[in-house]
Amino acid sequence: MGDRFSQLLELRKKTEVADPAAAQKLREQGKLTAWERVEALLDKGSFVPIGRFVRHRATGFGMESRVAYGDGVIAGLGTVDGRRVAVYAQDFTFMGGSVGEMHASKIARLLELAVKIGVPVVGLNESGGARIQEGVDSLKGYGEIFYRNVMASGVVPQIVAILGPCAGGAVYSPALADFIVMTRKSYMYITGPKVVKASVGEDVTHESLGGAEVHATRSGVAHFVVEDDLEAVRLIKRLLSYLPSNNAEDPPFLDTGDDPLREDPALDGVVPEDPVKPYDVREVIARVFDRGSFLEVHALFAQSAVVGFARLGGYPVCVVANQPAYMAGCLDIDSSDKISRFVTFCDAFNFPIVTLVDVPGFLPGTVQEHGGVIRHGAKIIYAYSDATVPKLTVIMRKAYGGAYIAMGSKHLGADYVIAWPTAEIAVMGPEGAIEVIYRRELEKAPNPEELAKQFAEKYRAEVANPYVAAARGYVDDVVLPRETRAYLYRALLHLLDKREKHPRPPRKHGVPPV
């Protein structure tokens, strides 16, 4: 019996590191092995593996001699800060983390299990893509993973960390997840630099083609960028602290010790009265929500909008805001996609949505129009209209035209809309409006600039102020900025039990603009 026990212990070690020499190379690059990543993420002693001794059954191309227990992926259940999660980690020390039939079956089974028991899924990815030696069996495996990613979507949260190279089919499962975290030395692309050079003649590096900076700032594929494996793990833990385990639960309450009814007089001076003067909306967010609770998502992408998670009196909420410090807070193609996807996620997982509005409109120009800003902007309208969670909106300053409607207005089903005294709600800004309304008077006037100022002030006083919208019921209340936190908290308490039948009316599903 002693020999058999020893054999088991020896085999266990082989499931943790397929190739010790390759593992050492990873460490020299500042990376962790797959097993070390799992250990760093999970509470000590909580991991229960699945398919620990699985091996591939491929033959040919030398595969008979290339065998590893676990087939290049560690998968199982564990806990993070006492909460259950499903986790898998691809082992780059075995065939570059390539995905074969059995490798894929473990991930697919884990996704199925996560849905059945209602727990988040965390993928720690580093893979060269499909295992070429296994041919169509590898492709079948990818298809089964993708299918289960889609079946789990909106049921359990899915988070993927890209911790090294991910190519080909290895990028689509992350793309189907809710959040992607990339380390600075990682990269992901469908086709690598050699294929790009051969097919279209472009000379590119791994980083310029699919590095973390590219995907965080330009493509929008990456939601977060971190320095290394350990920082990725810390970020995932923080992100999980906001998320419910599944769509049947509410996001977890956490007592932050920050008085939900406190007033912040400094907030009265954050937003300039001059509608064209910029400011950083993140200062408003920091003062309205629980101190230090804001976790920004997509911080480097589409920066005219700010989205992220925060807590209000300990309750997790989603924050969506225009950013006047960038492009005056205009909505464009990318910010429309950023907002609509975030709102859709938050609705799926029962987060109240708080929208902070200071928007002059959609960005004009041929680049935007030819790029489809109409259908991209329509995504925001669709997402807010489709959302059944509590929706609270604060109009801080500008709220013009279609952008006013899109940004969580009463007309799209907002439960509470409040405005600050500085709010301007109108079809367009006063300067543009008077050029239409008073065009003839201005053409005839000896001093058109002075007259234009007078007309603009008249328009602000009679049309664009918040009391006009409030008189029609489009704004529920006008409050001082310092009162915003307490107002939102009281309203949120009343809305926590909000329930709406969905879909409305009965249908298989809607057809959102894409």
Give the other-Cβ count within 10 Å of 16's Cβ.
Answer: 19
Catalytic option among 168, 192, 313, 429: 168
Paired tokens of 298: 């997509």
Q: Concatenate the DSSP letters of all residues of 220-263 into one string.
A: ---SEEESSHHHHHHHHHHHHHHS-SSTTSPPPP------TT--
Kindly give the residue spans of alpha helices, DSSP state H, lying in 46-135: 101-117
Quick one: three-class SS letters along 123-149? EEEEECCECHHHCHHHHHHHHHHHHHH
371 belongs to the catalytic site: no
What gap in Å lies between CA 381 and CA 350, rounded to an integer? 19
Q: Write down how long the chain is.
A: 514
Residue of 161, 302, 387, 403 with catalytic role: 403
45 belongs to the catalytic site: no
Would you state the structure tokens that stand for residue 181, as one six-digit string?
């975290």
Choosing from 123, 128, 169, 329, the catalytic residue is 169
Half-sphere exposure of 432 toward its Cβ, with a 13 Å CA cutoff? 9
Q: Is 402 designated active site?
A: yes
432-436, long-range: CB < 8 A, 24+ apart: 433/459, 433/463, 433/464, 434/459
169 as an active site residue: the answer is yes
Residues 6+ apart with CB under 8 A from 88: 73, 74, 75, 76, 106, 107, 110, 121, 122, 123, 124
Count the neighbouring beta carbons within 10 Å of the beta carbon of residue 10: 9
What lies within 8 Å, CB to CB, of 511 at 6+ separation is: none
| Catalytic site residue from 154, 402, 413, 432 | 402
From 343, 291, 342, select the one nearest 313 (Cα to Cα).
Answer: 291
Instruction: Give the catalytic positions in this structure.
Output: 168-169, 402-403
